[in-house]
């Protein structure tokens, strides 16, 4: 009867450690991919909610509202619809004390920091690759009319390994159709 000493050989230890490291590596890759997917999904949902809110406010208040897509954020803005109780009785309706229309005063209602996602807009009737991605200091406007109509556009939210494209409905300012490609 041959007696073997207890314990593992060096080859067995190296094999076990390499399997553990491979499992950890795959887990980290999956986690980072799912974080980007979640960032793109949350950003696209927030943009749709902002568009829907701007559309509803423009119809409700009969004043223009718009989404302003900037280099690093998306802003829901529009006419100042707060009650003008402080305006004197002598001032004509719709005018401020200085005589300018109150609709010319932009009011910011919501802001979304893009957080690493690149937001771009494509206008209706343009080529498939005609995305407008604002540079630093530039912006692109998507306006909601008080009649309830808006320009049919597509909005792309892109990350390093994927993107989500939302084709917006011109009557509701909500997502009509969505495409996504997120590499795992």
- For the stretch 132-146, pLDDT in tens is 999 999 999 999 999
State yes or no: pLDDT of 111 exceeds 60: yes
Question: Which distant-in-sequence residues (6+ apart) come within 8 Å of 51 by Cβ?
Answer: 67, 76, 142, 144, 168, 173, 174
pLDDT at 100: 43
pLDDT digits (tens, 9 = 90+) for 138-177: 999 999 999 989 999 999 999 888 899 999 999 999 999 9
| Cα separation of the two ends of the chain | 54
pLDDT digits (tens, 9 = 90+) for 39-84: 889 999 999 999 999 999 999 999 999 999 999 999 999 887 776 5
State yes or no: pLDDT of 91 exceeds 90: no
Q: Does domain 32-83+93-182 have CATH number 3.55.40?
A: yes
In this prediction, residues 106-116 reach a mean pLDDT of 85
**What pTM does this model have?**
0.70
């Amino acid at each position: 009867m041959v007696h073997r000493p207890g314990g593992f050989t060096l080859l067995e230890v190296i094999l076990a450690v390499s399997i553990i490291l491979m499992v950890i590596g795959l887990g980290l890759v999956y986690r980072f991919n799912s974080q980007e997917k979640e960032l793109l999904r949350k950003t696209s949902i927030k943009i749709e909610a902002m568009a829907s809110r701007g559309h509803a406010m423009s119809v409700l208040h009969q004043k223009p509202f718009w989404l302003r897509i900037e280099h690093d954020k998306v802003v829901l803005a529009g006419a100042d619809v707060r009650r003008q109780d402080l305006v004197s009785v002598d001032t004509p309706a719709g005018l401020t004390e200085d005589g300018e229309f109150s609709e010319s005063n932009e009011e910011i209602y919501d802001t979304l920091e893009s957080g690493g996602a690149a937001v771009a807009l494509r206008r209706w009737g343009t080529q498939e690759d005609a995305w407008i991605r604002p540079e630093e200091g530039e912006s692109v406007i998507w306006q909601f009319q008080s009649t309830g109509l808006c320009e049919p556009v597509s909005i792309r939210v892109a990350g390093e390994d994927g993107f989500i494209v939302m084709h917006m409905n011109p009557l509701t300012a909500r997502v009509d159709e969505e495409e996504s490609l997120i590499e795992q």
